[in-house]
């Protein structure tokens, strides 16, 4: 009896400010890679833009970021946008967003198979393997695990250990190095899938915003429909880039052991 592939959903969390072709490439590369392992069947992709409470500089309103992501993914038959995270009042820890989505995925799975899963332990019934959810990220994301105050250890353990990571390397960044350098990540390395992107293609949303502020072309870096939307709503300007300028990133204040003083002190 051939073992069945594990159904897999890929979740990408981030600002998507704005969504770029590169974000969508990450999904394509990750799906190809996971299929090549022979163990997984990628059944869906979720783009989950962060909420306005994140406090990142230049972050435009979630409603715009959602609208742009929807336009960009109109032509995709497997990646969709989910608004849950962006609609939360406060910034949500990535692990909380993962739990929410995994809960929904399991519910759908139970309904479709007529089974009930009452424990977190895999029942190892290989005839119909339980779906999995993994976090899709760029290589720079791995480095954030090492930024003091950005992640709680338990959360890293749950994201990397319980769920798993699919990490697409870009340019000259070395995700192998990041995993090696981190004791936490190397503990879970069997659950961290590193995808090598051979084409250096590093369109960052920061570069896109910079070009837009300077009146330069961003055509072919982001979909035409998104460009039209940005112009229609005059989204990225010098003013918009100053949003949250002197604000601390919400994860840093929310997870801090002691109250963090403002930068002006």
Binding site for another protein (CB under 8 A): 21-22, 24-25, 28-29, 31-32, 75, 171, 198-204, 207, 216-217, 219-221, 224
Nearest to 80 by CA among 43, 30, 45, 41: 45
Tokens, residue 189: 């390395």
Q: Measured from the CB atom, is 108 or 220 closer to another protein?
A: 220
Q: Measured from the CB atom, is 153 or 198 closer to another protein?
A: 198
Minimum distance of another protein from residue 122's CB (angstroms): 29
Q: Measured from the CB atom, is 14 or 251 closer to another protein?
A: 14
DSSP output for 118-182: -SSS----TTSPPPEEEEEEEHHHHHHTTSTTTS-HHHHIIIIIII-EEEEE-TT--HHHHHHH-
Minimum distance of another protein from residue 98's CB (angstroms): 25
- What count of residues does the chain have? 265
Minimum distance of another protein from residue 168's CB (angstroms): 12
Q: Measured from the CB atom, is 21 or 253 closer to another protein?
A: 21
Minimum distance of another protein from residue 79's CB (angstroms): 10
Q: Is the dihedral of CA 176, 169, 50, 10 positive or negative?
A: negative
Tokens, residue 212: 């837009």
Q: Measured from the CB atom, is 34 or 95 closer to another protein?
A: 34
Minimum distance of another protein from residue 99's CB (angstroms): 29
Nearest to 106 by CA among 85, 78, 132: 132
Residues 207 and 20: beta-carbon distance below 8 Å: no
The whole-angstrom separation of Cα 121 and Cα 227 is: 46
Nearest to 142 by CA among 162, 132, 156: 156
Q: Measured from the CB atom, is 103 or 171 closer to another protein?
A: 171
Q: Measured from the CB atom, is 101 or 170 closer to another protein?
A: 170
Tokens, residue 52: 């306005």
Cα 202 to chain centroid distance, Å, stands at 16
Tokens, residue 6: 């594990």
Task: Give the chain's radius of gyration (CA, Å).
Answer: 19
């Amino acid at each position: 009896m051939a073992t069945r592939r594990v159904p897999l959903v890929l979740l990408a969390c981030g600002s998507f400010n704005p969504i770029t072709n590169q974000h969508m490439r990450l999904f394509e590369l990750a799906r190809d890679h996971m299929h090549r392992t022979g163990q997984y069947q990628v059944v869906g992709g979720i783009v989950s833009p962060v909420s306005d409470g994140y406090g990142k500089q230049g972050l435009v309103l979630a409603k715009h970021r959602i609208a742009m992501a929807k336009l960009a993914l109109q032509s995709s038959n497997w990646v969709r946008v989910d608004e849950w995270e962006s609609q939360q009042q406060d910034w949500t820890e990535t692990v909380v967003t993962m739990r929410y989505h995994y809960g929904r995925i399991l519910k759908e799975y139970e309904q479709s198979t007529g089974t009930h899963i009452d424990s977190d332990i895999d029942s190892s019934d290989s005839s119909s393997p339980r779906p999995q959810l993994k976090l899709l990220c760029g290589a720079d994301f791995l480095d954030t695990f090492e930024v003091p105050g950005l992640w709680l250890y338990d959360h890293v353990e749950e994201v990397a250990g319980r769920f798993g990571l699919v990490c697409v390397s870009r340019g000259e960044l070395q995700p192998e190095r990041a995993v090696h350098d981190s004791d936490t990540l190397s503990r879970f390395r069997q659950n961290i899938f590193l995808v090598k992107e051979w084409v250096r293609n590093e369109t960052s949303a920061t570069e896109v915003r910079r070009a837009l502020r300077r009146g330069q072309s961003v055509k072919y870096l982001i979909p035409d429909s998104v460009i039209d939307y940005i112009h229609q709503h005059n989204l990225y300007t010098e003013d918009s880039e100053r949003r949250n300028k002197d604000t601390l990133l919400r994860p840093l204040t929310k997870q801090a052991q002691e109250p963090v003083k403002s930068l002006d002190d």
